[in-house]
Structure 1
Amino acid sequence: MTSKAVDEAMQAMREIFPETPLQLNEHLSRRFNADIWLKREDLSPVRSYKIRGAFNFFRKALQHGDRTRIFVCASAGNHAQGFAFVCRHFQVHGVVFMPVTTPQQKIDKTRMFGGEFIRIRLVGDIFDQCYAAARAHVEEIEGVMVPPFDHADIIEGQATVAAEIRQQLPEGTRPDLVVMPVGGGGLASGLTGYLGDELHEEAFLMVEPEGAPSLKESLKAGHPVTLAKVDNFVDGAAVARIGDMNFAALQRFSEAQVMAVPENAICVTMIDMLNIEGVVLEPAGALSLTALAALDPDQLRGKTVVAIVSGGNFDFERLPDVKERAMRHAGLKKYFILRLAQRPGALRDFLNLLGPDDDIARFEYLKKSARNFGSILIGIETRDPENFADLLGRFDAAGLGYQDITDNEILANLII
């Protein structure tokens, strides 16, 4: 990948969409005492940067190949939508393989972008089964597989994000820190490759979800590794294995330059940006901003920071879960199992222990653990995390038996 090739790809891209904005965000700049610039890839035609790599792949393939060949991809998210958009633009036919479990909203959006030029095939319950079916189909029809990140033309296309940033920053301004999400590594490979000649390596911070740290673990091992388990909450970046080509481009970085952020912390960012800025982010799109809050304030104070907002394809049916996770992470909501005496007035005595800002969000009688006692699941919300310390003190003083299960993943998943 050369800067000249990336610049040419960026210019070619203007035939399907204008550059995405680079915005100085006043709210975040005040919060972190820095100049925080957001590269708004959530404002592309498909609400993510994935259209860039897909466009560049198709552009190059069609320069050297037969337009009658069928293009194929496997994806249940942003890659599928970028692929479909570009198929329609170039008026070539493609097949999108998606797992049977893909939400209907994503299927409908992919079909809308591709129109008559794509077919959608639902295969398998998980992505691996879907991907295997796509690979078999490509061989059967002698088609063209369009990978989501592990390909030179995809990386080159994603690097156009960096080319635009260089043009959009005020003259004479260079970022002290560039923060970017990492899933398969296509975006990070392109950004660091394009800007690597003018920025020191320590100017890059890559961010992964805590439940899918494929780059961090690969850097530790010195080679790409496949994670045994992945938390799929951050679906746009929950990748079990970073691409081989992408790892080769990123292996020069230290594992200290890769931050893994908790999924629930990402939810706090999503809620804050929605409530304060009116910006809708998908979990992967909030990774970079979540990392800012986790850094030492001195690392940001007075600096020029560019954060990549990678996508905004958020299904609002997930909003209650995101809000729940955000409140738990912020310490504003907790769940307890109470051992409550089975006698008249016991519930009233318990309610009298609550403070003026404490609210019962859930109350469920579980079972009698003994003839004179019963187990109750209770969820409590409050306005200040410090209120829980006072509340637990009153629980102890009253001799109330309780267990905090807020952070007990097994119990929380079974009961809550």
Structure 2
Amino acid sequence: MPHQYIRKILEAKVYDVAVETPIHPAPFLSKRLNNTVLLKREDLQPVFSFKIRGAYNKIIQLTEEERAKGVVCASAGNHAQGVALASQHLGIHAVIVMPGTTPEIKYKACQARGAEVVLHGDTFDQALTYAQSLVEEKGLTFIHPYDDPYTIAGQGTIGMEILRQHTGQLDVVFIPVGGGGLAAGVATYIKYLRPDIKVVGVEYEESACLKAALEADERVVLPHVGLFADGVAVAQIGEETFKLCREYLDEVITVSADEICAAIKDIFDDTRSVCEPAGAVGLAGLKKYSTENQLSGQSLMAIASGANINFDRLRYVSERAELGEKREAIIAVTIPEEPGSFKQFCETLGKRNITEFNYRYHDARSARIFVGVQVHPDQMPVENLVGELREHGYPVANFTDNEMAKLHVRHMVGGHSKEVENEVVYRFEFPERPGALLNFLMKLGKRWNISMFHYRNHGAAYGRVAVGLDVPPEDRQHIAGFLEELGYHYCEETTNLAYQAFLG
């Protein structure tokens, strides 16, 4: 099998439309990690993503008859733009099916390249089903985003460039994994020519379909896929890509949304370029792997795979980057309700900067404050901060890893009405599109009174909501069925400490 793919990679005709992207050093991050950090800049492709390689290499293999009928694909963005540009270059009609939640920047880029864009459904799976129906209905050729030998070979040309451009020491290469096309192609090539180089696949922890497949020793379908890193939001690893990734990846690790946001900031600091979340997954993995394995003096490379980010999402990224870098702590502290207590608390913090301060009257004896504090993972870690405050007699709760606190409570610090006696609290994710919030409220508000609500648009393909419902004890047994009918991913937060401390 490797010989077959090596030949396909060497013969791939990607450079009619793609460019050979440079490898750039990341000096600031290299110094911080005490390793040489390198970035393979696939965000510099004409469509700002590596996907153009695989799409073009597949489409150029089509027969004249297939070209005449046209092509179709389903994609949330990057593959779609690759198919659009490849089809435009070859004079082929392309139909791009995208979920209705796709950011405007992505579908307009496809239209600008002459593709016919169809917005269908809320999820990639719904778009995929519709795209496949067009194959039967109109005779179009389906261009798979990752699970095709020619697509895999096209992405594999990145591995060829890496070994040709960087001939010196190279210890580990980190590759983002969604459906697995990029990882399969690059890992197969690198391990064939340089088996001494370790190749690590990196997945977003809420869409880790390869990790799940490796643990089960077979392809599985994830019950829920987080959409933050939409470019790698895949529920099941590809069939062909799974075979190759299982054989040629040395390891697979996962990273959190906060770690991805921190990596986006690191790429910006070193290159002045802004990657999309999926594009920074590889570097997030590099940082995590380097720290956990205490690497020093090694040469580490991450593929910066794409830069198609909706501008509105930068607000969320900037908020979470410091948390991902472990440079901000989110804590709840109880202080005496008396004159001078704020001043004394700030003096206890010493030279640490306060990034956020929310106050809530608790009772005549005490007050609760929700505080963001600047820390440092080495010199001033959050654990030291919590320990120092407790030594000074302050009751402290660390909410740095509490999603309810970071997403909602920090924007809502208030109180609980005495008239609401039976509040239960849930966090939801729902597809973000015009009218989505109203539709959500219409479905939610038919049965029980809404006692608390927080929603904040992050410019993403999904909305995140915190909801309190006033549900009498005799109705509790009906909640689960009602929430399942809503059809949105949810989790209960009634016992969440952040909610209990400031909103409960």
Q: Taking structure 1 as the reference length, what is the TM-score of the superposition?
A: 0.86
For the structure 1 residues 258 and 408, does the alpha-carbon distance in structure 2 shift closer, same or farther, using more than 3 Å as the test? same
Distance 1:179 1:391, change over 3 A: closer
Shift in CA distance, 27/92, structure 1 to aligned 2, threshold 3 Å:
same
1:377 pairs with 2:370:
yes
Where does structure 1 lack aligned partners over 5 or more consecutive residues?
none
Task: Label 1:296 to 1:339 Cα distance change in 2 as closer, same or farther (>3 A).
Answer: closer
CA distance in structure 2 between the partners assigned to 1:402 and 1:27 by the alignment: 34
Map residues 195-234 of structure 1 onto 2, 5 A cutoff. 195-200=190-195, 203-234=198-229
| Preserved contact between residue 99 and residue 121 of structure 2 (Cα < 8 Å) | yes
Contact 1:357 1:383 in 2 (8 A): no
Given the superposition, is the C-alpha separation of residues 6 and 394 from structure 1 closer, same or farther in structure 2, using an over 3 Å criterion? closer
CA distance in 2, matches of 1:345, 1:153: 69
**Could you tell me how far apart the structure 1 residues matched to 2:57 and 2:251 are?**
28
Q: Tell me, yes or no, if the aligned pair for 1:183 and 1:238 is still in contact at 8 Å.
A: yes
1:81-100 aligned at under 5 Å gives the runs 81-100=81-100
Aligned to 2:71: 71
Question: Does residue 163 in structure 1 map to residue 160 in structure 2?
Answer: yes
Who is 1:245 aligned against?
240
> Deviation digits for residues 111-149 of structure 1, max 9, x if unmatched?
22x2xx312121112222222222223222221111110
Q: Deviations over 1:148-172 (max 9, x none)?
A: 10111111111111222333234xx
SS at match of 1:3: helix
Is the 2:191–2:197 contact (alpha carbons within 8 Å) kept by the matching residues of 1? no
Bigger relative contact order (CA 8 A; separation at least 6): 1
Instruction: Report the CA distance shift for 1:128/1:2 in structure 2 as closer, same or farther (over 3 A).
Output: closer
Query: Unaligned stretches of 5+ in structure 2?
Result: 411-504
Q: Does the CA-based 8 Å contact 2:95-2:115 persist in structure 1?
A: yes
What is the match of residue 129 of structure 1? 126
Offset of residue 401 of structure 1: 3.9
Cα distance in 1 between the residues matched to 2:111 and 2:146: 22
The aligned length equals: 405
Partner of 2:46: 45
> Which region of structure 1 is more displaced relative to structure 2, 15-24 or 257-266?
15-24
Q: Give the stretch that moved more between structures: 281-290 or 24-33.
A: 24-33
Aligned position for 1:326: 321
Distance 2:164 2:386 in 1: 55
The letter for the 2-side match of 1:286 is A
Alignment of 1:53-68 (within 5 A): 53-61=54-62, 63-68=63-68
Residues 341 and 76 from structure 1, CA distance in 2 versus in 1: closer, same or farther, beyond 3 angstroms?
A: same
- What secondary structure, in the 3-state scheme, does the structure 1 residue paired with 2:203 have? strand
**1:305-347 residue CA offsets vs partner (Å, 9 max, x unmatched):** 4432211223332223222222123333222334455555554
Summarize deviations over 1:165-206 as a string: whole Å, max 9, x none: 333234xx4744332121111011111222332222762222
How far apart, CA to CA, are the structure 1 residues paired with 2:240 and 2:117?
Answer: 28
CA displacement 1:59-89 (0-9 Å, x = unmatched): 011x353433131111112111111111211
Q: Deviations over 1:334-390 (max 9, x none)?
A: 22334455555554554444423322424254xx55565554433333567627556
Q: Which moved more, 1:91-100 or 1:355-364?
A: 355-364
Partner of 2:184: 189
2:116 to 113, 116, 119: 119
Q: Secondary structure at the match of 2:61?
A: helix
Residue 243 of structure 1, CA deviation: 0.3
Counterpart residue number, 1:8: 11
The one-letter amino acid of 1:105's match is: I
Q: Is the 8 A contact 1:222 1:251 kept in 2?
A: no
Which residue of 1 is the match for residue 353 of structure 2? 358
Greater shift, 305-314 or 234-243, is seen at: 305-314
CA–CA distance in 1 between the matches of 2:328 and 2:32? Answer: 24
Alpha carbons of 1:97 and 1:50: their partners in 2 closer, same or farther (altered >3 Å)?
same
Matches of 2:165 and 2:197, distance apart in 1: 22
Name 1:282's counterpart in structure 2. 276
Following superposition, the deviation at residue 245 of structure 1 comes to: 1.0
1:178 maps to what in 2?
173
Q: In the alignment, residue 207 of structure 1 is paired with which amino acid?
A: V
CA contact (8 A) 2:100 2:122 kept: yes
Aligned identity (percent) is 34
SS at match of 2:175: strand
Q: CA RMSD in A?
A: 2.9
Letter aligned with residue 303 of structure 2: I
Q: TM-score, normalised by structure 2?
A: 0.72
What is the distance in 2 between the residues matched to 1:410 and 1:65? 54
Q: Is the 8 A contact 2:26 2:271 kept in 1?
A: no
Pairing 1:395-410 to 2, within 5 Å after superposition: 395-396=389-390, 399-410=393-404
Cα distance in 2 for partners of 1:338, 1:306 equals: 41
User: Which residue does the alignment assign to 1:316?
Assistant: 311
CA gap of 1:387–1:135, structure 2 versus 1, over 3 A, is closer
Q: Does 1:266 align with 2:263?
A: no
